[in-house]
Structure 1
Amino acid sequence: MGIVLRSMKRLNGQVSDIVIDEGKIAAIVPPGTGEGEVVAEGGYVSSGWIDMHVHAFPTFKPYGDAIDEIGVKQGVTTIVDAGSCGADRIGELREAGRRSVTRLLAFLNVSRIGLARIDELSRPEWIDEAAVREAALAYPDFIVGLKARISRSVVKELGIEPLRLARQFSAATGLPLMVHIGSGPPAIGDVMALLARGDIVTHYLNGKANNLFDAQGRPLPALTDAVARGVHLDVGHGSASFSFRVAEQARAAGVPPHTISTDIYERNRLEGPVFSLADVMSKFLDLGYGLREVVGAVTVNAAAWLGRPELAELSVGGDANLTVFEVKQGGKRLTDSEGETRTASTYIQAKGAVIHGSYFAC
């Protein structure tokens, strides 16, 4: 006998019992009729949430966290480490993922040292094409792309050159880029010009001077041109990269995120302003996005970019990869990366996750 999620509301409004057996969705039946051990009752259910930007290599303090702490314990079934490790240590991250419940994928930092230092793209000898190629060949089912953090404190005197090299490595490996943007130089226009269809720009809603919106809140041509050619927009909230003000400008201009992600690690999980994927999702509800849009940005959209549409399925016979959550009413304080705090009247709270045939309560 399997387990049952009782009286779960799906995003299409239907309320059903979901019966799970041997890791699969065995049945979706009228509420109250599913047979098995009831492990959760009431609330919403979706395919498992995917966080496209986390840091899950705790060795690199303070920019790391335990995989399951930012995964199933927060209702997230799949996390994608965003370049914590380069070629030198990506194998260690892969092995840690195998020991965890949460599904772990990764972007490979184009610097072989990864986040062992936070100026990892400041020395040419660390940007090693042979090492990138070797790692990409060694872990093809684990590495989903290449990560380059292109901001002043990371690249220093090398300027835009690390991104030019990353573009070459992308062509050599067939892997897309995730590019972190922040304080310049390099100028944001120069960074965006090097991004191609299928690449990701993360931190696109940051409030720094070198951001993607002008003084009147209008998207720069560099942003609109990038979107037109198929560049993917990711939130990557983090400790310094999400502004309510800029997010409002983006919504008003019709430039929504393709994926909502946290850039979470231990400190900003425990002390804020990130706390959890649910909290970051709640900020977008408060900005006026609909529930389906918000959940879609951590399920369907993320799974599509990963080329793993099965991660967004919720159907009989499919893998039981699910998130159970509530949409709650009441004042919840939400703070952006610039210290602005708002009180949301409606917010999302994770209740649990189903993965590998088991239910994990949050």
Structure 2
Amino acid sequence: MSDRKEASGSRYVLPEVKRVSGEIIDIVIEDGRIAEITDAGKGSGQPLKDVAGAYVSSGWIDMHVHAFPEFDPYGDEIDEIGVKQGVTTIVDAGSCGAERIADLAASSEQAKTKVLAFLNISRIGLLRIDELSRPEWIDKEQVKEALRRFSDFIVGLKARISRSVVGERGVEPLRIARELSGETGLPLMVHIGSGPPDIREVIPLLQRKDIITHYLNGKKNNLFEADGRPLQILNDAIARGVHLDVGHGTASFSFRVAEAAKRHGIGLHTISTDIYRGNRLNGPVYSMANVLTKFLSLGYTLEETIAAVTSHAAEWLGRPELGRIQAGDVANLTLFTVENERVELIDSEGERRVANCLIKAKGVVAGGEYMECEVRA
């Protein structure tokens, strides 16, 4: 990363940084761990310059990215969508199936960003964008072998259930994914989009801890009535513990639908980007900070917005240490600012909004070192 600022020695201080709650503190880091959290001005060690006054949270977690650069269009470099954007942990959302998951795991070892993954139930993954259209591309034994080899890396199974992916097979790939979930004990992340299959066939197959990603998409086959009321199948899914994930992406986030969800009390579980090279460089995603800014513009508080990329995501992952700031833990932090600055925001349907408050990623602490972000908004 360019402009990297590292403290010399094994002990340094983030001086006078601000929790999301507003409390100003010093955080002392020693040998890669949080040694002490103390009142502002009382931390002992070499102070980092230019961080005083910034907000600090546990490291941002992006639950839906595509970080396998060989695949086009859905691929990107890990650190370009990770630490350079203020995100210390990314979860690749099914870029790879059994045939390439070893390559993704190997590339993650060279990155500054922590990487976890959902395994695509199609053995070819996103080599093609119709990866569930042929039955021979789903091999249950290959899935299970990949899970045995990469049990610490894989957090769930991914099935993209929309017309362009499943072809004429309808919900059959999802039924197979459901069987695999039962046999392996891993939850599903299910992409929803254009039908067929109809959304009313898809959602009833999801169980507690499964994830609906793209739940705020504005396509005809979405989870809300024309007047904005949530479909009963969505209310029922939430009641049985199904998790909602934004998965903004190129085509899956609508301001109109997001406003309806908020108006009807649909809770904000996790905010993710569905970022890859194209929508990072050309929009409408650009960065995690840009997506978070959209939720501030919708009227969510800073606390609600940041919880959706920290504690909520860490809880789903079963890794609470990723979602807290606590002495003794490995230092995993994001520093950011909230600027009173005019910004134009765009959703996946091309609708533009003007906001006057902008989140900017400033830096991260990951792997024991502080690194300035290269993408600020």
Q: Please classify the TM superposition score into its range, dividing by the shorter chain length.
A: over 0.9
The alignment status of 1:165 with 2:188, answered yes or no, reads no
| Distance across 2 between alignment mates of 1:142 and 1:187 | 32
Task: Specify which of 38, 47, 57 is matched with residue 38 of structure 1.
Answer: 47
The alignment status of 1:55 with 2:55, answered yes or no, reads no
Match of 1:112 in 2: 123
Task: Specify which of 7, 21, 24 is matched with residue 12 of structure 1.
Answer: 21
The alignment status of 1:286 with 2:304, answered yes or no, reads no
| Distance across 1 between alignment mates of 2:264 and 2:137 | 39
| Distance across 1 between alignment mates of 2:355 and 2:45 | 37
Match of 1:259 in 2: 270
Match of 2:369 in 1: 358
Deviations, residues 283-310 of structure 1 (Å, cap 9, x unaligned): 1111001111100000000000000001
| Distance across 2 between alignment mates of 1:137 and 1:316 | 34
Task: Report the 3-state secondary structure (helix = DSSP H, G, I; strand = E; otherwise coil) of the residue aligned with 2:115.
Answer: strand
The answer on whether the counterparts of 2:339 and 2:359 sit within 8 Å (CA) in structure 1 is yes
The alignment status of 1:308 with 2:319, answered yes or no, reads yes
| Distance across 2 between alignment mates of 1:106 and 1:55 | 10
Matches within 5 A, 1:110-259: 110-259=121-270
The alpha carbon displacement at 1:33 in A equals: 3.1
The alpha carbon displacement at 1:42 in A equals: 2.0
| Distance across 2 between alignment mates of 1:358 and 1:116 | 35
Give structure 2 stretches of 5+ with no counterpart: 1-8
Letter in 2 for 1:102: T
Segments of 4+ in structure 1 off by > 6 A? none
The alpha carbon displacement at 1:216 in A equals: 0.9
| Distance across 2 between alignment mates of 1:210 and 1:130 | 32
The answer on whether the counterparts of 2:268 and 2:304 sit within 8 Å (CA) in structure 1 is no
Task: Report the 3-state secondary structure (helix = DSSP H, G, I; strand = E; otherwise coil) of the residue aligned with 1:3.
Answer: strand
Letter in 2 for 1:7: E
| Distance across 1 between alignment mates of 2:84 and 2:313 | 20
Task: Report the 3-state secondary structure (helix = DSSP H, G, I; strand = E; otherwise coil) of the residue aligned with 2:67.
Answer: coil
| Distance across 2 between alignment mates of 1:80 and 1:38 | 32
The alpha carbon displacement at 1:4 in A equals: 1.6
Letter in 2 for 1:315: Q
Match of 1:328 in 2: 339
| Distance across 1 between alignment mates of 2:174 and 2:52 | 48
| Distance across 1 between alignment mates of 2:44 and 2:73 | 46
Task: Specify which of 72, 78, 85 is matched with residue 67 of structure 1.
Answer: 78
Match of 2:104 in 1: 93
Instruction: Name which of structure 1's ranges 173-182 and 31-40 shifts more when overlaid on structure 2.
Output: 31-40
Letter in 2 for 1:151: S
Deviations, residues 46-66 of structure 1 (Å, cap 9, x unaligned): 001000000000000221110
| Distance across 2 between alignment mates of 1:146 and 1:261 | 17
CA RMSD of aligned residues (A): 0.9
| Distance across 1 between alignment mates of 2:303 and 2:61 | 15
The alignment status of 1:347 with 2:353, answered yes or no, reads no
Task: Specify which of 295, 305, 308 is matched with residue 297 of structure 1.
Answer: 308
The answer on whether the counterparts of 2:117 and 2:153 sit within 8 Å (CA) in structure 1 is yes
The alpha carbon displacement at 1:346 in A equals: 1.1
Match of 1:24 in 2: 33
| Distance across 2 between alignment mates of 1:215 and 1:290 | 27
Instruction: Name which of structure 1's ranges 134-143 and 24-33 shifts more when overlaid on structure 2.
Output: 24-33
Match of 2:3 in 1: none
Give structure 1 stretches of 5+ with no counterpart: none
TM-score (norm 1): 0.99
